[in-house]
Amino acid sequence: MCQLGLNASNFNPEILFLIDHTMKGKVFKKYHHHDFIEISIVLSGEVFYNIENKVYKITKGDILIFNPGVNHNEMLEENMTVRELHIGLSNFAIEGFIKNTFPLPINSSILILDKYKDAFFRCCDEILLEQQDNFPGYDMVLKSLVMKLLVILLRETTFEDARKKGIKFSCEPSEKQNVVKAIISYMDEHYMNDISLSTISENMYMSPVYISKIFKEETGDSPINYLIKVRLNKAKALLDNGELTVKAVAKSVGYDDAYYFSKLFKKYFGYPPSKVKS
């Protein structure tokens, strides 16, 4: 069965740091980014975060996930106090996703939990207590708790969205066919839109590399080549109908540049689109 790219044998992130940190009064941290994943959990209070030159007010219960390269810094005003739990992670790998990148369901670093919020913050309390007690073997317990925290996050965000869409991430050979069928269905329905490997990746919650790999395995072609064939066959049908100009046909199948469309058409069919019209 497909396990959404996550199981005990292949998911083993390294915890770089686990910091319980409180700030008070006027603070302006340095604008920076990391080459690892940082998760910042607001346990109490409030703080301003500048994320890629956009400022957000973050309050108790909010979670921030900064993938590598995402610029950010914290800012507090005179009367503000905040307590945060910061977790640094490397070797974060889920099959079908980009390594060391948390698969965020939307284009934002800010998460607000709903279904699993209570479970998530109970786990945070366990982490803080384990750090405080510092009993023998605490590092192993902390790792297991952080793993639990990550699974809760993934259940609420990426995996829940994917489940609703019927998307699978890491699949047995028989199930790869279903994934490729979903990709083909997406391209067949949206061929007239601005589609790239990146947009397919975002829609399917899979890395571009993984999509290309399984698509090639199942069809013998790349996703983009398949998309081009779909567009050109749709274009030929429209041209055969004889009601639209070449430029209008090009635009209707996703090409704003009629000259580029004509070159592709001639390469694929062996004659220019103008010959169909004539």
Return the domain boundaries, the chain: 14-164, 171-278
Q: What confidence score (pLDDT) does residue 278 get?
A: 52
- Superfamily name with CATH number, domain 171-278: Homeodomain-like (1.10.10.60)
Q: What is the pLDDT of residue 51?
A: 94
What is the widest separation between alpha-carbon atoms in the chain?
84
User: DSSP for 119-178?
Assistant: HHHHHHHHHHHHHHH--TTHHHHHHHHHHHHHHHHHHHTHHHHHHHHT--SS--HHHHHH
Determine if the pTM surpasses 0.75.
Answer: no
pLDDT value at position 100? 85
| pLDDT tens, the chain, 278 aa long | 344 556 777 789 999 999 999 999 999 999 999 999 999 999 999 999 999 899 999 999 999 999 888 999 999 999 999 999 999 999 998 766 777 888 876 667 999 898 899 999 999 999 999 999 989 999 999 999 999 999 999 888 765 555 454 444 555 555 677 778 888 988 999 999 998 888 887 776 666 777 888 899 899 999 999 999 999 999 999 999 888 999 999 999 999 999 999 999 999 999 999 888 55
Domain 14-164 carries which CATH code?
2.60.120.280
Q: What torsion, rounded to 10 degrees, do the Cα atoms 192, 195, 200, 201 define?
A: -170
Q: Which of 194, 61, 51, 55 is nearest to 109 (CA)?
A: 51
Q: Which helix (H) or strand (E) holds 76?
A: strand 72-76
Residue appearing with tokens 């041209």: 239
Which residue bears the tokens 């007010």? Answer: 57
67: its two tokens: 């993938």
Name the phi and psi angles at 22, rounded to 5. Answer: -115, 135
